[in-house]
Amino acid sequence: MEKKTTENMLPVYDTLKKVFGFQSFRPNQVEIIRSILGGKDVFAVMPTGGDKSLCYQLPAKIMAGTAVVISPLISLMKDQVDAAVENGISAAFINSSLAPEETSSVYRRLRNSSIELLYIAPERFVMPNFLETLKSVRISFFAVDEAHCISEWGHDFRPDYLSLSNIVKTFSKVPVAAFTATATRKVQDDIIAKLGLRDPFTVRASFNRQNLFYRVKSKRDLTAQLMNILKRHASEPGIIYRTTRDSVDALSDFLSGQGIKARPYHAGLAQEQRKANQEAFSKDESHVIVATIAFGMGIDKSNVRFVIHADLPKNIESYYQETGRAGRDGEPSDCVLFYGREDITKIRYFIDQITDDTERDIALKKLNQMVRYASHNVCRRKQLLEYFGEDYTDKNCGACDICTGKVEKVDVTINARILMSAMSRTGQRFGTMHIVDIVTGADTKRIRELQHDKIQTYGAGKDKDKNHWRFIVDELLAQDIIYQDGGAYPVLKITEKGKNILFGKETVSALKREETKKKPHKGKWGVFEDYDKTLFERLRALRKHLADEQTVPPYIIFSDKTLHEMCRRYPAALPEMASISGVGDTKLERYGDKFMEVIKTYLKENPVISNQDNRSLDMPSGRAISKPKGETCEKTYELFKQGLSIGEIAKARNLAESTITSHIEQLTMDGKDIVIDRLVPPEKRDKISKLFLTLQSWQLNPVIEHFKGAVSYEEAKIVRAYMRRKTG
């Protein structure tokens, strides 16, 4: 039976719930999906964690024909196909990892119109036989993932992507949707032009990942510093990036010797070894991957709790995308960058090997931007967002080392004059290290040869160490008092503002920050609810068992976020399990009974948690309580009294709408003044109430089924609470 595309959005929301198990869309998703269904081209910048895959998987399920997804992430294709199949979508992939007979089988299914979603690599698109096959089947739309790869201004340009400009020429009536996680305005314009997108619907989602905590640390005793972080994240999955294969191997061996389940990943390993190490990480058999940047593009693991850069990245795009592999499930995660000036020299060496002048200049510019991010005493989040053209106006993000550190304002005028005097007396022709050597009175061959030990400011700052003077340099750079000029080896020069300070017309102060011991989730950056950790471990063990049986990563069965919600709400009946985010119809049928069996057993062992009646209500946390109460419900109540809707409260509190509905439900049961007419129209409320009375049951699923989607779970739950309060 042919599927119909219609302006009516009911099928879209129905598919969202039944196939993917979600009650509502994330920002921008529904607009993108509506455009694709309407046959319009799309260009979307959606940061990692924004779930852009749903934007093409959902319309692929609804539209007639096959949706073709073009992606360079061969290692990720199987996981994405497995995840789609788990949700009840007919999906397949074709790439070099398939045996000839497997490829032939996919071609047969494609010609028989039995594939809704097909993943291919970009080089496959240029193969004449494959193109002829595509021309012979019905294509619903094309989705180009990692679209920045087509732009030479992007951070991961791939020549194979240039052939994708033929999509529009060859399939002129088929819509094309391009997605990328990182793109400046310049890269965006380049992608649209090269793909030939036709007046595309354009989305630039916010780059602000609120659940990520950014920090930069001076690189000193690296192994000891890394061990301190890993102790805080014991048994949690994370990625450590290094720039060279040797450093990857050495660190992986060291961590393994310390009893940490760590594995290496880099291009120097045999392909089978790389694959085995990546699979071990995906399947929760290894906690830490130590990797070069060769790792990560093919990782869809949602519960990575930390990403550490043990060396300076080459550019902000790469850094942002790599940190974006943390916390894809929306829960608190750490992003730590270790910065040492020796990293700059190493990267510049490789930049100097680039023969093309334009390409070399671009690489150098990007490196300097990365250095400014690491060295400037400015909110990390603000710097990242401004790089991508997003204005971040909050004075304190509450989720980076700058904004959460202790601040001390110190006058550094004398220090600034010492530095700038050394710069001036040496002709403003030298870089940071040499100027710092002069003011600290270093006895180097270069200083002696240039007779810089004879100038007046030689040794003027020897009472302080070099780290202090590097801090002063960074502060003066951040405040535009001095600037760096030149190519691979920039020199320090004085601005007009700096001259006023040097000649005593102005003063300068610096904010010295010391990072606190505050845990990330305690900041102002969001509220993340607790969950029953004992039950979570049991559910995680069941998930691992089921995943091993089907040879898929555990997160494909259910994400950590879905398990966490189960550990807050204790669903012990199918209707309640169906209302958990991430539990669609197919997964409910396959796994619902198994997970509920574990939950029921756990509740019998812990009767204090809940009685049978209260289990039908949403549970807010893993604490041993019978119903949601206290500060978190009161906050919701205060916002509700101010006139905010459930959606507005959820956004303001950074919580799921289902969680806010749970609060409203409990507040209603507690006798609070909840005006139900604001939530459910009186006529609809009366119909729902009558059905509950007719059924003589508080079960939600029969109500939802009776109204065939016209009544949501949230509405039914609120009416149920209203009735139960009235009946005592």
Task: Report pLDDT digits (tens) over 439-465.
Answer: 999 999 999 999 999 999 999 999 999
Checking DSSP bridges between strand 201-204 and strand 42-45, what pairing results, if any? parallel
Mean pLDDT is lowest, of 14-23, 207-216, 290-299, 373-382, for 290-299
Give the confidence band of 598 by pLDDT, cuts at 50, 70, 90.
very high
**Between 394 and 183, residue with greater pLDDT:** 394
Checking DSSP bridges between strand 139-144 and strand 91-94, what pairing results, if any? unpaired
Q: How far is CA 598 from CA 538, 540, 619, in A?
A: 7, 11, 17
pLDDT at position 553 over 60:
yes
- Listed residue (19, 165, 156, 170) closest to 84, CA to CA: 19
> For 491-532, where are the E strands, in sequence order?
491-494, 509-514
Q: How many Å apart are CA 202 and CA 41, to the nearest integer? A: 9
User: What is the DSSP track for 319-360?
Assistant: HHHHHTTS-TTSS-EEEEEEE-HHHHHHHHHHHHT---HHHH
- Listed residue (676, 213, 260) closest to 402, CA to CA: 213
Q: Say which residues have a Cβ less than 8 Å from residue 395's Cβ, sequence separation at least 6.
A: none
Q: Say which residues have a Cβ less than 8 Å from residue 415's Cβ, sequence separation at least 6.
A: 461, 468, 469, 472
Segment 282-292 mean pLDDT: 90
**In this predicted structure, what is the pLDDT of residue 435?**
96
Question: Which stretch of DSSP H or E encloses residue 240?
Answer: strand 238-241
Segment 632-640 mean pLDDT: 83
To 5 degrees, how large is the angle CA 79–CA 84–CA 90? 120
Segment 103-119 mean pLDDT: 92
Q: How many Å apart are CA 446 and CA 674, to the nearest integer? A: 77
**In this predicted structure, what is the pLDDT of residue 627?**
38
Q: How many Å apart are CA 595 and CA 539, to the nearest integer? A: 7
Query: What are the helix (H) ranges across 151-309?
Result: 166-170, 185-195, 222-232, 245-257, 271-282
Query: pLDDT digit string (tens) for 156-172?
Result: 677 778 888 889 999 99
Segment 471-488 mean pLDDT: 80
Assess contact for 140 and 60: CB atoms under 8 A.
Answer: yes
Q: How many Å apart are CA 184 and CA 562, to the nearest integer? A: 33
Q: How many Å apart are CA 392 and CA 420, to the nearest integer? A: 32
Give the confidence band of 5 by pLDDT, cuts at 50, 70, 90.
very low
**In this predicted structure, what is the pLDDT of residue 26?**
80
Query: pLDDT digit string (tens) for 638-665?
Result: 888 888 888 888 778 777 677 788 788 8
**Between 394 and 460, residue with greater pLDDT:** 460
| Range 341-355 burial, b when 16+ CB lie within 10 A, else e | bebbeebbeebeeee
**Between 407 and 461, residue with greater pLDDT:** 461
Assess contact for 135 and 172: CB atoms under 8 A.
Answer: no
Q: How far is CA 473 from CA 100, 371, 482, 563, in A?
A: 60, 13, 8, 48
Assess contact for 529 and 621: CB atoms under 8 A.
Answer: yes
**Between 560 and 288, residue with greater pLDDT:** 288
Average pLDDT, the chain: 84
**In this predicted structure, what is the pLDDT of residue 389?**
83
| Cβ neighbourhood burial of 465 (10 Å; 0-12, 13-18, 19+) | exposed
Q: How many Å apart are CA 720 and CA 664, to the nearest integer? A: 12
> Letter for the amino acid at 236?
E
| Cβ neighbourhood burial of 601 (10 Å; 0-12, 13-18, 19+) | exposed
Count Cβ atoms below 10 Å from residue 232 Cβ, excluding itself.
Answer: 11
Q: Say which residues have a Cβ less than 8 Å from residue 670's Cβ, sequence separation at least 6.
A: 629
Q: How many Å apart are CA 578 and CA 592, to the nearest integer? A: 8
**In this predicted structure, what is the pLDDT of residue 492?**
93
Q: Say which residues have a Cβ less than 8 Å from residue 350's Cβ, sequence separation at least 6.
A: none
- The structural domains of the chain, ordered by start, are 10-204 (3.40.50.300), 212-403 (3.40.50.300), 407-514 (1.10.10.10), 529-627 (1.10.150.80), 628-728 (1.10.10.1390)
Q: What percent of the chain has pLDDT over 90?
A: 35
Q: How many Å apart are CA 116 and CA 81, to the nearest integer? A: 11
pLDDT at position 709 over 90:
no
Q: In what order do the strands lie in the sheet with 306-309?
A: 212-218, 333-339, 306-309, 238-241, 288-291, 262-265
**Between 141 and 510, residue with greater pLDDT:** 141
Give the confidence band of 501 by pLDDT, cuts at 50, 70, 90.
very high
pLDDT at position 214 over 80:
yes
Helix crossing, 432-439 with 466-478: angle to 10°? 130
Q: How many Å apart are CA 251 and CA 276, to the nearest integer? A: 18
Half-sphere exposure of 466 (CA within 13 A, CB side): 12
**Three-class secondary structure of residue 54 per DSSP:** helix
pLDDT at position 542 over 90:
yes
| Cβ neighbourhood burial of 560 (10 Å; 0-12, 13-18, 19+) | buried
**In this predicted structure, what is the pLDDT of residue 624?**
33
Query: pLDDT digit string (tens) for 516-527?
Result: 544 444 444 444
Assess contact for 700 and 617: CB atoms under 8 A.
Answer: no
Q: How many Å apart are CA 53 and CA 40, to the nearest integer? A: 18
Segment 572-588 mean pLDDT: 87
Query: What dihedral angle (degrees, nearest 10) is formed by the CA atoms of 185, 186, 190, 196?
Result: 30
Q: Say which residues have a Cβ less than 8 Å from residue 646's Cβ, sequence separation at least 6.
A: 657, 660, 661, 664, 679, 714
Count Cβ atoms below 10 Å from residue 275 Cβ, excluding itself.
Answer: 14
Q: How many Å apart are CA 676 and CA 715, to the nearest integer? A: 10
